[in-house]
């Protein structure tokens, strides 16, 4: 695959503190001073924390679903997150769901999923990056990453690397209006010339937001920004 999913950028008021929180939750080492969590073997992506001085004011369009191996493991994850500064979050859930909805110290939403969830079986610690999105945007990302659709029903879509790992899911319409630039952005790296890959993604329906010789920012069909850069040596 000449273009691959490399990372997820997260805007953060305190990148090092947020990187430390997620390093504890995910069991990854934090790289300082750039405040990032490297991916592991296979298709796992890195997390990169980007400094910003504007606090979060709205729900994100996507969030992490963390997997659990047992009820005890799920409770340990919740307890650890709360000890590290997370809080319970009400997003309209009924209260009888098996998953637990939390927000990290900067308010980024995530769920700790109950054990036995068949959709997330054999994925990764981040079982899914789940969010709002149209069916068309799921098709776009399937073609952009050359990842197969593993779910396509009633407007909902999901894709997953052929190597397995984290799924990316979209829950179908209605899709809420964007409120400014997204604070979470996928980062793609390509072995192709940057201009050629920009042209390919635009041909799939993306729009160019900005471009320099070493980095392009584009938006998918739902207006979600993402980054494209040459592959790191």
Domains of the chain, start order: 3-230 (3.10.180.10)
What is the Cα gyration radius of the chain?
A: 17
pLDDT of res. 116: 95
pLDDT class of 174 with cuts at 50, 70, 90? confident
pTM: 0.94
**What are the tens digits of pLDDT across the range 84-96?**
999 999 887 777 7
Cβ neighbours for 142, distance < 8 A, ≥ 6 positions apart:
148, 149, 157, 159
Got the DSSP string for 118-149?
GGGTTS-SEEEEEE-B-HHHHHHHHHHHT--E
**What are the tens digits of pLDDT across the range 95-135?**
778 999 999 999 999 999 999 999 999 999 999 999 999 99
């Amino acid at each position: 695959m000449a273009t691959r999913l490399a990372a997820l950028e997260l805007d953060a008021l305190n990148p090092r503190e947020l990187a430390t929180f997620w390093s504890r939750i995910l069991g990854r080492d934090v790289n300082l001073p750039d405040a990032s969590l490297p991916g592991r073997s296979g298709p796992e992506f890195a997390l990169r924390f980007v400094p910003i001085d504007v606090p979060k004011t709205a729900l994100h369009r996507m969030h992490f679903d963390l997997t659990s191996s047992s009820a005890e493991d799920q409770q340990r994850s919740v307890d650890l997150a709360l000890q590290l500064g997370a809080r319970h979050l009400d997003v309209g859930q009924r209260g009888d769901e098996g998953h637990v909805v939390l927000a990290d110290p900067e308010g980024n939403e995530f769920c700790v999923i109950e054990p036995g969830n068949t959709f997330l079986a054999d994925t990764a610690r981040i079982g899914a990056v789940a969010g709002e999105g149209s069916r068309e945007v799921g098709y776009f990302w399937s073609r952009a990453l050359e990842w197969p659709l593993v779910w396509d029903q009633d407007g909902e879509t999901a894709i997953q690397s052929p190597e397995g790992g984290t799924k990316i899911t979209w829950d179908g319409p209605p899709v809420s209006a964007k409120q400014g630039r997204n604070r979470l952005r996928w980062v793609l790296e390509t072995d192709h010339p940057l201009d050629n890959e920009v042209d390919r993604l635009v041909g799939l329906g993306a729009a160019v937001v900005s471009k320099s010789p070493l980095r392009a920012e584009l938006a998918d069909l739902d207006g979600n920004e993402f980054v494209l850069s040459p592959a790191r040596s």
